[in-house]
Amino acid sequence: MFGFLDSLSWSSAVLAVVDIGIVAYGFYRLFLLIRGTRAVQLVKGIIAVLIAVPVSRWLRLNATHYVLQQIQVMLVVALPIVFQPELRRALETIGQGRFFSSESLLRQHEETDWGRVVDEVARAADHLGRSRTGALIVLERTTGLNEYVATGIPIDARVSSALLENLFVPNTPLHDGACIVRGDRVVAAAAFLPLTESAQPGSELGSRHRAALGISEQSDAAVVAVSEETGWISLAVEGRLQRRLEDRALREMLTRLLVRPKTYPGFKIWHRGAGG
């Protein structure tokens, strides 16, 4: 079965191994690039479709096989559109020479002193709430938020309650938008976030809370929002909003999400009330 290997020269065998190694490493780096992003779920869906096509043919499910084949054809056209943000980020990474770096969001998450970060964020949220200063603080977890970081002003400063409070001082250039925290660093301020489509315009949720829900629907980020109208503190996770949180409750929830990331607290879907 493997008799053809005998006809390969030593140099040809080495080149074949190097060739396979380059391709394998390229796929590995691409996997690291999309790991922890929304693209992972899309890739899983594509793999499921690709597996279902031959399975439906083998089972002689003619109608199902025909539909899956058409979907497979459409994917060829749709992939560049669906993965446009990831493709752009990959090209930027290659252009900046970081494609072969070993940086990992998961490693950074594990090495961060989340206890201190939670303490600083909770203290800032409490002070901002007491002064009724609107704020939106996004805590990046395993889903990369580079596309949203790029819309803001680069900061790259160590997280502290004083810094967070100053970022949201009214009538200053960085007041509008969100600040994004990666590990123990504030990486950007005045960043633009997607608004949720689940809350209809005109509802009691203001744009700040709709943005908190929006980014939590598209990533696994934990988002702290402070209402400038009521001073209420809210936490958005996985498309759900817990409102009117006291300092202690916020600390406990952030600790369960960040310090012990495998444990998720229970969240109730946002209830009706005033404030935005």
Which pairs with CB-CB distance under 8 Å and at least 24 residues apart come from 33-38? 33/86, 33/89, 33/90, 33/93, 33/99, 34/86, 35/105, 35/106, 36/105, 36/106, 36/142, 36/143, 36/144, 37/86, 37/143, 37/144, 38/143, 38/218, 38/219
Mean pLDDT of 209-230: 89
- Domains in the chain (CATH in brackets) are 10-102 (no CATH), 107-259 (3.40.1700.10)
User: How confident is the model over 12-25, as pLDDT tens digits?
Assistant: 778 888 888 888 88
Give the predicted TM-score (pTM) of the model.
0.62
User: How confident is the model over 146-165, as pLDDT tens digits?
Assistant: 888 989 999 989 999 999 99
